[in-house]
Amino acid sequence: MCGRYARARYGIDYLIPLASDRDTRWPLLNESAPADTPSWNAAPGSRQPVIYPDGAVRLVHWGYRPAWAVARGLPQMINAKVEKATSSAWAAMWKNGRIIVPADYWYEWKSESDGKQPYAIQAKSGEPMYVAGLTNVRPDTEQCEGDGFVIVTAEAGAGLVDVHDRRPVVFSAKVAREYLDPATSAERAVHLALSAAEPPEAFTWFPVSRKVNRSGPDGPDLVEPLKGDAP
């Protein structure tokens, strides 16, 4: 499960590599930057910037809890397993609700004798990470209770720090553009998530402060590598 990530830049900074030859279709690049700030501890339940197919960055609630989940007493969902793409819960979003969640790190945890140790994972290249996402929130509409976005996760056993965990599906800018494109079919988008995501060798990871274990703390110090055996 991907339950926490970090975004060290402003939304506009993730758009520029994505824009390529689509500048004229993405007018936001020529307007004011979106009203978001970096977050080194983005947690479920918060509003985070996501990129829509029109190139606009919008703040959307991280977490999706449809009426049927409420009726069953189920908690909000924050991830969508890629192998469940054709299920009734996600099929419509794969067709019309694809978004990109911009990030620079995500966190995984490793159980140790004295508690859970968080690790920050980033691209070796230092480039932004374009995480596959899905949402039921349509552009320019009010978000209602239960509306939000989820992060698409790779198949089981794909964790980097914990092999039993699930890592987010991360695309290069080129693949992210195709994933976002409304002309891309749902079937093709699923294929991209299964076969065109960045491989494990594209990432590096290191232990960080256990302050990340709580959703409140924030700041660039959260992604500073631990020195020696510091807790």
Look at residue 228 and tell me if it is in a domain: no
Is 50 within 8 Å of 60 (Cβ atoms)? Answer: yes
Look at residue 101 and tell me if it is in a domain: yes
Look at residue 170 and tell me if it is in a domain: yes
Tally the C-alpha atoms within 13 A of residue 158's C-alpha that lie toward its C-beta: 21
* Sheet order of strands, 115-123 included: 39-42, 5-7, 105-112, 115-123, 203-207
Q: Which of 31, 83, 108, 127 is catalytic?
A: 108
Look at residue 22 and tell me if it is in a domain: yes
Looking at residue 175, what is its pLDDT?
A: 95
Look at residue 164 and tell me if it is in a domain: yes
* Residue recorded with tokens 């960045």: 198
What pTM did the predictor assign? 0.91
Q: Which of 2, 31, 198, 201 is catalytic?
A: 2
Coil, strand or helix at 77: strand
Look at residue 230 and tell me if it is in a domain: no
Look at residue 75 and tell me if it is in a domain: yes
Question: Which CATH number goes with the domain that contains 160?
Answer: 3.90.1680.10
Residue 178 falls in the annotated catalytic set: no
Residue 144 falls in the annotated catalytic set: no
Bridge partners, residue 131, by sequence? 101, 170
* Residue recorded with tokens 């069953």: 72
Q: Which domain holds residue 93?
A: 5-223
Total number of domains in the chain:
1
Look at residue 218 and tell me if it is in a domain: yes
Mean pLDDT by 10 residues, the chain (231 residues): 89 79 52 69 94 88 93 94 89 96 95 91 95 93 90 80 84 94 95 94 95 92 80 42
